[in-house]
A and B are shown apart, each in its own frame.
Chain A
Amino acid sequence: MTDSLILQLYWARSEKAIEESQNRYGPFCYRVADGILRDPLDAEESVNDTWLSAWNAIPPARPLNLKGFFGALTRRISIRRLREKTAEKRGGGEALAAIDELAECIPARWNTEQAVETKEVLRALNAFLAALPETERDLFVARYWYGLPVAELADKWGLRKNTVLTKLRRTRLRLLKQLEKEELL
Chain B
Amino acid sequence: MNKFQFFESFGEIDPAFVTAVDELLAGEGPARPAFRRKKVLGAALLAAVLAALLTATAYAAGLFQLSVQVPQRGETQSYSLVIVEPDGELLRQTAEETAGLILHFDSQREGTLCAFRPGWLPVEPTRAESLEEKAGDLARARLGMAFPASGEREQAQEAAETEKVLEEMGLSAEEAARWSVWCEADPAQGPEPGIPYQMALSNCSDLYELDLLIGSDGDAVELLKDETAGEERTLWIRVSKEPRPGEPESADALFPYQVALRFSQAEGWLLSVTGTLDAETLGKIAEDTEIRQTAFPTESQRTERGFGSVLLARG
Contacts and interface: CB of A to CB of B under 8 A. Distances in A.
B126 interface: yes
A5 B21 contact: no
Contact of B6 (A2, A4, A62, A103): A103
A31 B26 contact: yes
A159 B6 contact: no
Contact of B33 (A1, A106, A118, A158): A158
A157 B32 contact: yes
Contact of B187 (A2, A79, A100, A119): A2
A23 interface: no
Contacts of A71: 15, 18-19, 22
A76 B1 contact: no
Contacts of A125: 9-10, 13, 144
Contacts, number: 162
A84 B137 CA distance: 36
A122 B13 contact: yes
Interface stretch (A13-21, A42-50, A140-148): A140-148
A75 B144 contact: no
A37 B7 CA distance: 14
A139 to B, nearest CB: 9
Nearest to A8: B126
Contacts of A144: 7, 10
Contact of B13 (A1, A79, A126): A126
Nearest to B33: A158
Interface in A120-164: 121-123, 125-127, 129-131, 134-135, 137-138, 141-142, 144-146, 148, 155-159
24 contacts: A5-B126, A64-B140, A65-B15, A69-B146, A71-B19, A116-B1, A121-B6, A121-B9, A129-B305, A130-B278, A130-B279, A130-B304, A134-B35, A138-B20, A138-B21, A141-B21, A142-B25, A144-B10, A145-B13, A145-B17, A145-B18, A146-B25, A156-B30, A158-B33
Interface of B: 1-22, 24-26, 30-33, 35, 39, 96-97, 126-127, 137, 140, 143-148, 154, 157, 184, 186-187, 278-279, 304-307
Given A102-B3, A122-B144, 17 more contacts: A5-B184, A67-B19, A69-B146, A71-B18, A72-B15, A99-B3, A103-B6, A103-B7, A110-B1, A123-B144, A126-B17, A130-B278, A130-B304, A135-B32, A138-B21, A141-B18, A157-B32
